[in-house]
Amino acid sequence: MTGTGKWIAGLFIACWFGVMSFGIVGHALKVGLCRNTLSYFVVWDMFCGWRAYDARTHLIAESSTGRYYAVREPWGEFCPFGNIGRIQYDVSNHLLPKQINHVLSHTQHEQIDHVYVVQEIWPKQFNMPERLWNHYYSEPSDKVSYFHLRAVCGSSGQAITVFPDWITQQTLNSIADNPRLQREVRQTQSRFSTLYTPVRQDQNRISSGLITPFPSTN
């Protein structure tokens, strides 16, 4: 290798080491992780937030006469990538009020009372082509979707009631149905509390009935 080649190789190694060091230090100190796209190339978790479930959002409008309609663009849904509509990329449903108001304000329909945001979710393994499914699995592909009410909106798109997504709801259900966790919650008190430590004056107020103490967890 010539002298120029060694300088180029050394410069490349130094740049690579510097970028990786900056990424590791930045990740450890939580600096510059979300405000630029360059940090995506120096993190070690390339699939952060990747889930094993695929989801679709459905908008169902309920009229004043009790009839139900699918809220869709009659002029055609915009699909920026592939055949999935733009609304499906809004995972947190931040733009759904604008979407509902946009469709309902530009279409003719009877009076709409509520719009239900329904989340359909299923395991991503059922998105496999049939030949790949038959190669890896012995049982037939029987796709089962779960439908979960995500929010209830008004005719203008304003959210009236909001619920957790399906995965979060299942997590909450598993915690609520766990007798051991319920028992630990009742018997355990957090070490991190924003409440002040009672002094003698507060103890006197408690004994005199001016302050009601917390119930004992023992």
Query: What is the rounded CA–CA span in Å between residue 156 and residue 118?
Result: 17
Region 4-10: what's the mean pLDDT? 88
DSSP for 66-90? S-EEE---TT----SBTTB-GGGG-
Query: What is the rounded CA–CA span in Å between residue 153 and residue 151?
Result: 6
pLDDT higher than 80, residue 102 = yes
Q: What is the mean pLDDT of the chain?
A: 81
Name the residue type at position 162. V
pLDDT tens digits, one per residue of 139-176:
988 888 999 999 999 989 999 999 999 988 888 888 77
How confident is the model at residue 122, as a pLDDT?
A: 94
- Burial code (b: 16+ CB inside 10 Å, e: under 16) for 145-183 equals eeebebbebbbebebeeeeebbeeeeeeeeeeeeeeeee
pLDDT higher than 50, residue 217 = no
How confident is the model at residue 218, as a pLDDT?
A: 42
pLDDT tens digits, one per residue of 119-138:
999 999 999 999 999 998 88
pLDDT higher than 90, residue 40 = no
Region 179-203: what's the mean pLDDT? 61
Give the tokens for residue 62.
């309920």
Region 65-94: what's the mean pLDDT? 89
Tell me which of 189 and 121 has the higher pLDDT: 121
Per-domain boundaries in the chain:
3-42, 53-172
Strands 68-70 and 112-123: unpaired
The whole-angstrom distance between residue 57's C-alpha and the CA centroid of its chain comes to 13
